Copies of this chain bind each other. A is one copy, B any other.
Amino acid sequence: MSKGITSRETDYSQWYNELVVKADLAEHSAVRGCMVIKPYGYAIWEKMQAALDKMFKDTGHSNAYFPLFIPKSFFSKEASHVEGFATECAVVTHYRLKNDGTGNIVVDEEAKLEEELIVRPTSETIIWNTYKGWIESYRDLPILVNQWANVVRWEMRTRLFLRTAEFLWQEGHTAHATKEEALAEAEQMLNVYADFAENWLALPVIRGRKTENERFAGALDTLCIEALMQDGKALQAGTSHFLGQNFAKAFDVKFTAKDGKLDYVWATSWGVSTRLMGALIMAHSDDQGLVLPPKLAPIQVVIVPIFKTEEEQMAIGALADTLISELKSKGISIKYDDRDTHRPGFKFAEWELKGVPVRIAVGTRDMQQGTVEIARRDTQAKETVSQAGLADRVEQLLIDIQQQIYNKAAAFREANTVSVDTYEEFKRVLEEEGGFVAAHWDGTRETEQLIKEETKATIRCIPLNNPLEQGTCVRTGKPSIQRVLFARAY
């Protein structure tokens, strides 16, 4: 089976689709819009989960688990929330199948639910209905809970990892005694996401605020991190919502404050999903395959012996044993690929496709000279180095690669973020160059919508700490107080 993939230049979209499948990350399932996450892809997701979970716990959160199903009536309690999700809900209506007597398995119409159940697209409603029973006074607050779960949003056009009917995610749901505390929590979690994106995914992100149009259904304020992909399109990589008292009011969750007064509880929610896998792939990979930041690579180093005779294989194997134990003692994950069913060139291409950050090749001449060949995946640079001190060198190299991948993505974003002041230029940049476009906007929903219809660009965010600057809207010429970031987006 050929491992070659379409180049980014030829067809970026096709490149992505092929890469996800050929690198064994995921594939389409037989169920419309649902994916199978394969072991290699899932191993990356597990590393993301472990890192995020630790960050959540370090900031005082605990995990819990709430039901997959949400009664339709709950779902309807927060008006803008149901409006946002109603058109993409999988609905359970029956609880039994039966044999129809001719050998066919059919839905048993006698087992119809009195009230339909929605497969959770997000869990605010079921969780706030639960919190009602947990909260009486300020002593019960804050509640700092996270859930790792699957959710379902019935999307019509799906793409592996980026947009699937079922996806995996985490959703934090916190309850607070004060507005200030909830606002601080929403901001804290945005910062956790940004740290994770930058330090683990090696992905520079812009922290910002969504416009009203793009806000989460039910939120008063949605904070987000936005990243730029190699084709110049933006990708929202995580969101953190300040929900005000909306859900507390919908589910009647009040608490007695220190001063004895009854008030509704303040809320946040925040989430990232398997969509991060899509961001990871699209931001860094190349025409040879995946480029994985070492911190998230399931295999960080592959060692490929190059031998002709069994004797040579044995000798290199003995060296490899030593190397492997030295690298493992540093916590580095290693694969020793001594399959005799494939040639070295085939193996090199396979591990490039799979994005292993460092490849070490050892041949007979290396054995004579006390050397190995090291190749780094990100730059594809090769170097012949001494076997002595190799573990230290590899350890440092992994750190360098992590940093270099980040730097490259940061330089790309830098080069693809421009300020424009006319609508002509705005449209030209979007059409010819892509990237983030910083432009003045008059602050209305209508103009935002108009620009979207005319250019397919949306306001990705209003960056936090955005400098105020007098100007005129690129579309309407009306006054504006700041530039906002536009882009076409995933």
Chain A interface (Cβ within 8 Å of chain B)? 27, 29-31, 34-39, 42-43, 45-46, 62-72, 74-76, 82, 86-99, 104-105, 107, 116-119, 126, 129-130, 133, 139, 145, 149-150, 152, 154, 166, 168, 341
Known: A31-B67, A91-B93. 19 other contacts (CB 8 A): A29-B66, A29-B67, A35-B67, A38-B64, A39-B145, A42-B62, A68-B152, A69-B166, A72-B105, A72-B107, A75-B97, A82-B97, A87-B98, A89-B97, A90-B117, A92-B93, A93-B93, A93-B94, A150-B150
Q: B133–A27 contact, CB under 8 A?
A: yes
Q: B94–A65 contact, CB under 8 A?
A: no
Q: A126–B94 contact, CB under 8 A?
A: no
* Chain B residues near A152 (CB-CB < 8 A): 68
Question: What is the chain B residue whose CB lies nearest that of A166?
Answer: B68
Q: Smallest CB–CB gap between A217 and chain B, Å?
A: 13
Copies in the complex: 2
Q: A154–B96 contact, CB under 8 A?
A: yes
Q: B154–A71 contact, CB under 8 A?
A: no
Q: A95–B99 contact, CB under 8 A?
A: no
* Chain B residues near A65 (CB-CB < 8 A): 36-37, 42, 45, 168
Q: Smallest CB–CB gap between A122 and chain B, Å?
A: 14
Q: B34–A63 contact, CB under 8 A?
A: no
* Chain B residues near A154 (CB-CB < 8 A): 95-96
Q: B97–A67 contact, CB under 8 A?
A: no
Q: A86–B82 contact, CB under 8 A?
A: no
Q: A105–B92 contact, CB under 8 A?
A: no
Q: Smallest CB–CB gap between A66 and chain B, Å?
A: 5
Q: A72–B97 contact, CB under 8 A?
A: yes
State A97–B116 Cα separation when bound (angstroms): 10
Question: What is the chain B residue whose CB lies nearest that of A133?
Answer: B27
Q: B34–A69 contact, CB under 8 A?
A: yes
* Chain B residues near A118 (CB-CB < 8 A): 97
Contact with A67, one of B36, B92, B93 (Cβ below 8 angstroms)? B36
Question: What is the chain B residue whose CB lies nearest that of A91?
Answer: B94
* Chain B residues near A39 (CB-CB < 8 A): 62-64, 145
Given the known inter-chain contacts A63-B46, A119-B119, please indicate yes or no for A105 contacting B129, CB distance below 8 A.
no
Q: Smallest CB–CB gap between A46 and chain B, Å?
A: 6
Residue among A27, A75, A76, A92 with the highest chain B CB neighbour number at 10 A = A92
Q: B30–A126 contact, CB under 8 A?
A: yes
State A224–B260 Cα separation when bound (angstroms): 56
Q: B105–A76 contact, CB under 8 A?
A: yes
Q: A63–B86 contact, CB under 8 A?
A: no
Q: A91–B86 contact, CB under 8 A?
A: no
Q: A90–B95 contact, CB under 8 A?
A: yes
* Chain B residues near A117 (CB-CB < 8 A): 31, 90
Q: Smallest CB–CB gap between A421 and chain B, Å?
A: 42
* Chain B residues near A105 (CB-CB < 8 A): 72, 75-76, 82, 86
State A97–B89 Cα separation when bound (angstroms): 6
State A99–B118 Cα separation when bound (angstroms): 15
State A71–B31 Cα separation when bound (angstroms): 7
Q: Smallest CB–CB gap between A287 and chain B, Å?
A: 25
* Chain B residues near A63 (CB-CB < 8 A): 39, 42-43, 46
* Chain B residues near A42 (CB-CB < 8 A): 62-65
* Chain B residues near A92 (CB-CB < 8 A): 90-93, 119
Q: Smallest CB–CB gap between A218 and chain B, Å?
A: 14
Q: B71–A30 contact, CB under 8 A?
A: yes
Q: A34–B86 contact, CB under 8 A?
A: no
* Chain B residues near A76 (CB-CB < 8 A): 104-105
Contact with A116, one of B66, B86, B107, B166 (Cβ below 8 angstroms)? B107
State A92–B27 Cα separation when bound (angstroms): 23
State A68–B43 Cα separation when bound (angstroms): 19
Q: Smallest CB–CB gap between A130 and chain B, Å?
A: 5
* Chain B residues near A38 (CB-CB < 8 A): 64
Q: B99–A91 contact, CB under 8 A?
A: no
Q: Smallest CB–CB gap between A212 and chain B, Å?
A: 21
